[in-house]
Amino acid sequence: MLEFILERYNYWIVITLMMTGLYIVYARGNLVKKIVGLNVFQTSIFIFYITIGKIAGGTAPIYIGDDLKKMKEGAHGDGHGDDHGEGHDAEGLHDTPEGAHANDLSDAGEESLHSKIENQFPDVDGNDLKTALQNLEPSEGEGTEVEGLHETVEGGGKIANQMFEGADKEAAGFDVAGAKEAVEGGLHAAPDAAAAAAQTMGAAASHGEIIYTNPLPHVLILTAIVVGVAGTAVGLALAVRIREAYGTIEEDELEAMDNVAEFGAAGTERAQ
């Protein structure tokens, strides 16, 4: 029981923040404090989305150039030292470990998926891995268990191909669009496998695989943060205007003043 709770500590944080935020919005009369409450509430959503994308042992979805170079046995990546471009590349390639991210909330059968992975990975191994990926994987033999997982997902193979094409283009001459596609491929594939077990990932990590967290929720939440900031800005601007118009930002005082405007002073007295 305790383990159950502790394992999901991030969800507890989300829930606590969410409730705290809503409570502040509800209970505080000060308009600015309401906005603060709203922000706390929204923060909980950010954390929630980050949780979705988080993979145990995974690093931020930013391409780590040096590691990659070290791992590349061939000179494939040479001359493409641009971190930005290769960052895309790597993200695309690393759909596999992301896909292995275990999702605690999901009830989907872990075992069956797991076995499926084991059945399929050799196949994947042989057919699909092209130069870029091969160079990237230091220990395909053991580590690809995780990669296989990606391939089990319907349509995954296609996407992988697409992605590799992108990677090739990238290698050849910086085809940004192709790289983008590759990224997207990775993005898509990752959550498809979101139901896989956590230990799979641990195994992958121990084999020296670079594990990136799922970038899509991060992208989403960046958008949501922008929206949230805009909302906060509008809210605060309104608070400023309200203070100009009423001389206060306390809700009960505002209400009393509105009542006077509507029913006259007598109405307020009666109400009180």
Partner 1 sequence: MSLSAQLPVLPIVIPLLMAPITLLLPKGRAPWAWAVLCSWLAFAASVAIINNVYEFGVISYHLGDWAPPLGIEYRIDLMNALVLVLVSGIAAVVFPFAYESVKSEIDERQSPYFYGALLICMVGLLGVTITGDAFNIFVFLEISSLSAYALISMGGRRDRRALTSAFNYLIMGTIGASFFVIGVGLLYQATGTLNMADLHAKLAGQDNRVVQSGFAFIVVGIGLKLAMFPLHLWLPNAYTYAPSAVTAFMAATATKVAVYVLIRFFYTVFGFDFAFEVAAFTYVILPLGIAGMFIASLVAVFQEDVKRMLAYSSVAQIGYMLLGLSFATTAGLTAALVHMFNHALMKGALFMAVACVVLRTGSHSCHAFAGLAKRMPYTTWAFVLSGLSLIGVPLTVGFVSKWYLLQASFAAGHWYAGFLIVLSSLIAVVYVGRIAELMILREPDPDGPYALARKEAPLSMLIPMWVLVIANVYFGIRTELTGGVAERAATALMTMASGGAQ
Cβ atoms of residues 228 and 39 within 8 Å: yes
d(CA 153, CA 244): 58
Cβ atoms of residues 57 and 97 within 8 Å: no
Instruction: Tell me which DSSP letter residue 200 carries.
Output: H
Q: Considering only residues 13, 45, 71, 113, which one is a binding residue for partner 1 as defined by CB under 8 A?
A: 45
Burial of 271 by CB count in 10 Å (0-12 exposed, 13-18 middle, 19+ buried)?
A: exposed
Contact string (CB under 8 A) for partner 1, positions 202-241, x = contact: ---------------x--x--xx--xx-xx--xx--xx-x
Q: Considering only residues 10, 13, 20, 25, which one is a binding residue for partner 1 as defined by CB under 8 A?
A: 25
Restricting to residues 249-268, name those near partner 1 by CB under 8 A.
254, 258, 261
Contact string (CB under 8 A) for partner 1, positions 105-134, x = contact: xxx---------------------------
Instruction: Closer to partner 1 by CB, 103 or 135: give it.
Output: 103
d(CA 37, CA 27): 10
Contact string (CB under 8 A) for partner 1, positions 150-189, x = contact: ---------x--------------------xx--xx-xx-
Could you say whether residue 12 binds partner 1 (CB under 8 A)? Answer: no
d(CA 48, CA 154): 27
Give, in order, the Cα–Cα distances in Å from 18 to each of 13, 21, 34, 222: 8, 5, 13, 18
Q: Considering only residues 49, 63, 164, 212, which one is a binding residue for partner 1 as defined by CB under 8 A?
A: 49
Residues facing residue 59 across a β-bridge: 212
d(CA 49, CA 186): 18
Q: Which residues bind partner 1 (CB under 8 A)?
A: 22, 25, 31, 34, 38, 41-42, 45, 48-49, 52, 103, 105-107, 159, 180-181, 184-185, 187-188, 190-194, 217, 220, 223-224, 227-228, 230-231, 234-235, 238-239, 241-242, 245-246, 254, 258, 261
